[in-house]
Structure 1
């Protein structure tokens, strides 16, 4: 999950490979977006816009992207702990090109509209990660299970008002890192509206708390994808077992997979530990999930 242990893993990863800031930036992982995030059966021309979404706590800034024609299922895309940035806008656009109306949100809107990651940063190299980590932890501390649900409801309402959204179809929600749990919480809170949920290297999905995400599964009607980083699984190997038992007991369809050879954070294209092959596999599984449950 998103913590100092993850940072230590990232630093070890770079030391083992002798990767420097210069060599990492030169790799240009962001440039491989098309290969990493395949489009579905047909590519749609899309319309992009910056939006402000009314919430009970103010206005959330977001990036809304959707096919230029027709009405399509809506999807909420929650960024990881480093927040809104080009990599997640690119991911939202890629999903829209596959036939979805996608809202990429700034989870920190109550505190700041500024990006932690500047637009010109193609990758979150070790030096940048070290610089922004204290602020990322501070911002993450301003959020809670309650705020994720309050915001999620507002985002669903926003999508349902858009002409490009087919509100006769259910909505999808996908979260990364700390927001992987948000997919669980919103799916449980709005089971009649959320049809598919996806968590990518999500943190804190199984805890001892009464409000642990895995304890919410009986309230969920959405199909689910839970993509787990190998090093997260090594730290808590029983989590996947508890998740499997929760989904099976509730009769909720779920694909739960540990992605061999991955470190926490492997999915975003600008991640220090991005794994293109495994990210492509996870993306394809998400597209299949949405096609089954939202199409």
Structure 2
């Protein structure tokens, strides 16, 4: 989860590994140059991409929609981390589409602000950025998560590029790992796969804890946990494993040794290409098995 301890870990990692200041780092790879940090897809499909407006009961969400240029494919809802919809997540959505999926990368903060909600090079480590995005995150709730999940799924099922006869996938990062859980619980007949990467708060003591929703789902799960997140809550992974086993839900719950919270997006200061690629390969395996 994004907190002061995570910031300390990430700063130590950057100092130890001699990484650039994040503003310098991102300034050097805005737009298409971000792609140099992601390996090329073998047999990548040609895709069509666009900014779309999705009507919801609470307004209009600006989202990025990308899919193979021809044909119908399984749909995926991609929820970004607390910094919101931005070029790094558009690139990740495009990469997934090149593997044969119709991907909607959403702006979870549309009620308050259009994307991007942060500028190029913005970092959660910067106090002003952290204050701004934390305030945006507080405008969301389990209720808004469900409202949006249903609206985004409905939008996707109306698109010519989507094969609605196949199960839908959903994936989340950081704060949106829990949103992916709620999506599966809200649409159990529709969602066949859920992936959470360094998801925060998946197990907590509240009645709204995402792990309590597992029996309400019919999806297969991939839970990729950062090592430092695991170290601060050693029991969470065990609770998740037991919850999945009790519900007879197939799940892969793994701690990625050496990965820090936020290791997957290519614009993260603690991006770890080797471990991010391992997590990505597990995502593709999950979708290949379940979105049929």
TM-score by length of 1: 0.92
Cα deviation for residue 3 of structure 1 reads 1.9
Instruction: For residue 111 of structure 1, give the secondary structure of its aligned residue in structure 2.
Output: coil
Counterpart-to-counterpart distance in 1, 2:133 and 2:143:
19
Q: Deviations along 1:189-242, whole A, 9 cap, x unmatched?
A: 111000100000000000111221111111111011000000000000100000
Q: In the alignment, which of 199, 202, 210 is matched to residue 207 of structure 2?
A: 210
Counterpart-to-counterpart distance in 2, 1:115 and 1:172:
24
Match of 1:152 in 2: 149
Counterpart-to-counterpart distance in 2, 1:117 and 1:75:
24
Match of 1:53 in 2: 54
Cα deviation for residue 115 of structure 1 reads 1.6
Residue 184 of structure 2 is aligned to residue 187 of structure 1: yes
Counterpart-to-counterpart distance in 1, 2:18 and 2:101:
40
Instruction: For residue 66 of structure 1, give the secondary structure of its aligned residue in structure 2.
Output: strand
The number of residue pairs the alignment matches comes to: 290
Cα deviation for residue 184 of structure 1 reads 0.8
Give 5+ residue unaligned stretches, structure 1: none
Match of 2:93 in 1: 92
More displaced, 231-240 or 17-26? 17-26
Instruction: For residue 261 of structure 2, give the secondary structure of its aligned residue in structure 1.
Output: coil
Match of 2:239 in 1: 242
Cα deviation for residue 28 of structure 1 reads 5.0
Match of 1:226 in 2: 223
Cα deviation for residue 18 of structure 1 reads 4.5
Counterpart-to-counterpart distance in 2, 1:38 and 1:247:
34
Counterpart-to-counterpart distance in 2, 1:24 and 1:50:
26
Q: Deviations along 1:144-194, whole A, 9 cap, x unmatched?
A: 111111100000000000000000011100000000011111111111000
Counterpart-to-counterpart distance in 2, 1:189 and 1:224:
15
Match of 1:103 in 2: 104
Q: Conserved in 1, the CA contact under 8 Å of 2:107 and 2:115?
A: no
Counterpart-to-counterpart distance in 1, 2:24 and 2:131:
25
Counterpart-to-counterpart distance in 1, 2:115 and 2:38:
27
Residue 9 of structure 2 is aligned to residue 3 of structure 1: no
Residue 71 of structure 2 is aligned to residue 70 of structure 1: yes
Instruction: Label 1:26 to 1:192 Cα distance change in 2 as closer, same or farther (>3 A).
Output: closer
Cα deviation for residue 133 of structure 1 reads 1.1
Residue 81 of structure 2 is aligned to residue 80 of structure 1: yes
Q: What is the root-mean-square deviation of aligned Cα atoms in Å?
A: 2.0
Give 5+ residue unaligned stretches, structure 2: none
Q: Deviations along 1:33-81, whole A, 9 cap, x unmatched?
A: 3663553x63211001110001010001000000011000000000000
Q: In the alignment, which of 140, 163, 167 is matched to residue 166 of structure 1?
A: 163
Instruction: Label 1:34 to 1:25 Cα distance change in 2 as closer, same or farther (>3 A).
Output: closer
Counterpart-to-counterpart distance in 2, 1:16 and 1:79:
27
Instruction: Label 1:35 to 1:135 Cα distance change in 2 as closer, same or farther (>3 A).
Output: closer
